[in-house]
Amino acid sequence: MDLLSLNSLLFFLFLLGFCAGNSVLPPGPMDVVLGKNLTIKITVTKNPGDIVIWNFNDGKNQNNIATLRPDNTVNVGDAYKTRGVSVDPNTGSLTVTSLKKEDSGDYSVTLLQSAATVTGDVLVRVLVPVSNVVIKSDLFEAIEYNSTVVLTCSSSGSYLTFTWTNGTTPIVSDGKRLTVVDTPPSTDGGSSKLTITGVLRSDLVGPITCTAKNTMEQATSPPFNLTVYYGPDDVTISPLKPSDYITSSSDFNLTCAAPSSSPPATFTWYHNKDEIKASGPVLTLKTIEAQGFGKNYADYTCRAQNAKTLRAVASPAVRFSVMEPISDAKISGPTGILIAGNSSANVSCQATSGNVTQISWIKDGTPLSENSRIMFSSDKSSLFISVLQKEDNGNYVCKLRNSVSEKEASYKMAVSFGPEPFKVEGKDEVKISTEVVLICSPPSTPPANITWKLNGTLLNVKTNKLVIENALYKDSGTYTCEAFNPVTGKTTTSTHTLSVKEEIIEGLSDGAIAGIVIACLVAVGACLALFFYCRQKVPLESPY
């Protein structure tokens, strides 16, 4: 049966009616990669003697591919004789090798059986391989919050769909800030546009990849990175709470940091609103003082700038003043002779260098305060004692302080006085041949010159202690201690009576001894009176 007769037969069968259905062939579309082989299987049973006719329609023309005759011979259409077409004699399945793009279209089969005629068709799509997936940006660099970035992913291939990934996280369109628009599927490549409005630094941390795929294969673009400039944010300064006063010429410095900035921020320093000529994140105290700052309590801030984003952010302000430490303290007082009741004194205290904010005075370990005789100058740098007394003797200390240092100096004041009234210490009575010690201790500054006298006669003793190792009767008498202060010119004396005896009644006072003596005398007188009375009453006998 030739082709013309076969077509006539088909037309006749069409007029008589036939059974048709998509279940004869697999559901479509059937996708096959360009250059691969296509096999379409018939899903119904082919019986021996059945005629199988395969046709192709590209939307314009219909061509016969091949016909399987009852004797299992295959007639290949003229257009496919060089294409490696075959029909399986047992199943009726069609195989076309090395598909071309032009092989996309509708494939139909007619199965002529003894009892009925069944037909089916399926759409076959020849897919161009997925390749050359690449991402391009409309910007070379972006500014956070300001830039709108459009990334375009293009790829060769057929009927493509696209997905975007940031690292391992899928990028999903939110319809607002993030939008993804794909070109309609086609047989010849496609693209997808990712638009990011008000780009954030996290949007393109990446790497960004785009995957293009169809039903048969997929490919992913090389990693894409786009620099997003941002910051500065969170500008900090340290130390945030320095001392109110910083020691001059110390190693103190301020450090400014803006870790969230790309590119790294540059820094400008300010004293209140005045710019400090300094560069870099560290401001040294040496720089502050060299430019005449720090003398007053003031604010210091740093401002971080980003050359790309053109943003500038200031740090919190820190406040302090630079103070020169007190290098040394010097105290001065009277250098001449001071006499109690006659002299006055002025003692002053100054710092060799440094700013003194507080002065305090201490005498012999006790804080000194004003009274009727002691007065301080308005800044307490000096004290004045109007009329010196012996109690003003002692060690005077001035303490100079500021917020960063403390120094002190001392002055010893010597006030001459005395000698004041005193008493000679020692025993009034001693036993002969015993030691006698008399002590003369007159209060006097400087110590008084001492001389001793016995009953007005000058003794060869110049110390305040008079010692008689073996007392004799002749050592009894009145001892005089004479104290002379060569500075004040004052002399003071004290006397002491000493009695050297053979025996001393221990434990009896002078009154008791006097009472005993008087009693004895009274008793002796009574005896004598009685004797003479008796003589008068009894006449004497004559010896003759």
On the 0-12 / 13-18 / 19+ scale of CB atoms within 10 A, 235 is buried
Would the pLDDT of 506 be above 80? no
Task: For residue 443, say if its preceding peptide bond is cis, omega within 30 degrees of 0.
Answer: no
Give the span between the Cα atoms of 31 and 123, in whole angstroms: 9
Beta strands in 372-441 (DSSP E): 374-376, 382-385, 394-402, 405-413, 415-416, 429-431, 436-439
CATH of domain 30-127: 2.60.40.10
15 against 422, higher pLDDT: 422
Same fold, 131-229 and 328-416: yes
Mean pLDDT of the chain: 89
Whole-number pLDDT of residue 355: 86
166 three-class SS = strand
Beta strands in 46-182 (DSSP E): 51-57, 62-68, 74-76, 85-87, 94-96, 105-112, 117-127, 131-137, 141-143, 149-156, 161-166, 169-170, 178-182
Would the pLDDT of 19 be above 50? no
Among candidate residues 305, 306, 304, 300, the one with its CA nearest the CA of residue 287: 300
Count of CB atoms within 10 A of residue 147's CB? 17
CATH of domain 131-229: 2.60.40.10
**Mean pLDDT, residues 243-253 taken together:** 94
Superfamily of domain 425-501: Immunoglobulins (2.60.40.10)
**Mean pLDDT, residues 464-493 taken together:** 95
- Encoded tokens for 409: 């100096």
Residue 426 half-sphere exposure toward CB, CA atoms < 13 A? 27
Angle (CA) 344 349 352, round 5°: 150
Cβ atoms of 296 and 246 closer than 8 Å: no
pLDDT tier, 205 (very low <50, low <70, confident <90, very high otherwise): confident
Cβ atoms of 125 and 102 closer than 8 Å: no
Whole-number pLDDT of residue 16: 38
pLDDT tier, 138 (very low <50, low <70, confident <90, very high otherwise): very high
**Mean pLDDT, residues 445-453 taken together:** 95
Cβ contacts of 185 within 8 Å, gap of 6 or more: 158, 159, 160, 161
Give the span between the Cα atoms of 113 and 260, in whole angstroms: 79
Cβ atoms of 125 and 30 closer than 8 Å: yes
Among candidate residues 392, 377, 376, 380, the one with its CA nearest the CA of residue 334: 392
Would the pLDDT of 451 be above 50? yes
Residues 367-403: tens digit of each pLDDT: 999 999 999 999 999 999 999 999 999 999 999 999 8
Would the pLDDT of 538 be above 90? no
Q: What percent of the chain has pLDDT over 90?
A: 83
Would the pLDDT of 92 be above 70? yes
- Encoded tokens for 282: 């560290």
**Mean pLDDT, residues 522-544 taken together:** 54
Q: Which CATH number fits domain 236-323: 2.60.40.10, 3.40.140.10, 2.30.42.10, 2.40.50.320?
A: 2.60.40.10
Residues 212-224: tens digit of each pLDDT: 999 999 999 999 9
Task: For residue 239, say if its preceding peptide bond is cis, omega within 30 degrees of 0.
Answer: yes
Whole-number pLDDT of residue 463: 94
Would the pLDDT of 80 be above 90? yes
CATH class of the 328-416 domain in this structure: mainly beta
Domain segments of the chain as ranges: 30-127, 131-229, 236-323, 328-416, 425-501
Whole-number pLDDT of residue 6: 43
Q: Which amino acid is at 346?
A: N
Would the pLDDT of 535 be above 60? no
φ, ψ at 466 (rounded to 5°): -105, 120
Beta bridge partners of 247: 323
- Encoded tokens for 18: 């036939």
**Mean pLDDT, residues 464-473 taken together:** 94
Q: Which amino acid is at 319?
A: R
Residues 411-446: tens digit of each pLDDT: 999 999 999 999 999 999 999 999 999 999 999 999
What global pTM score does this model have? 0.62
What CA–CA distances, in Å, run from 46 to 6, 30, 88, 94?
19, 22, 10, 13
